[in-house]
Amino acid sequence: MSLRSPRERLIQTLAYEAGGLCLSVPLVALFGGGTTGEAFTLMLALSVAVMIWSPIHNTLFDWADLRLSGRLASDRPQGWRLVHAASHEATTVIVTLPILIWLGGMGFWAALLADLGLTLLYAAYAYVFHLIYDRLRPVRSPAKGLAND
């Protein structure tokens, strides 16, 4: 059995965040009432925080799934893909809420509402992204006798 290598996890994280910025910046600018530059700055700060958190979450989730079920991440059934996306976004709220308050200049409740809106957007995006990513770059099992990644 194998998990994604650190190199592969970095590629996955960068691709995820790049796609997320392309999706979210125009929406934040449109619905947040700011400029595209302000939306980009805010979303970039959130993206950096999530890039630090995401590989930690994904590795822990993949490790737990492998230990509990014996399956690779790319073989995850649809129900567990939904659990993965939901757990990622729920834990990301904890990481991003202080950034929305500080950099976004929002009060707690406005930041929480904005964070929940972004969470819904990113939960749907995470599901689709990881489904496509696993199809394009599946985890390969090592040959017998070789060490795991």
pLDDT in tens, 9-60: 889 988 998 999 999 999 999 988 789 999 999 999 999 998 899 889 989 9
For the chain, domain boundaries: 6-136
Using CA atoms of 99, 102, 103, 107 in order, give the dihedral in degrees to the nearest 10.
100
Higher-scoring residue by pLDDT: 51, 83: 83
Helix, strand, coil percentages in the chain from 3-state DSSP, rounded to 5:
80, 0, 20
Contact 148, 139 (CB under 8 A): no
- Once rounded to an integer, what is the mean pLDDT over residues 51-72? 90
Q: What is the predicted pLDDT for the residue at 99?
A: 95
- Once rounded to an integer, what is the mean pLDDT over residues 81-92? 88
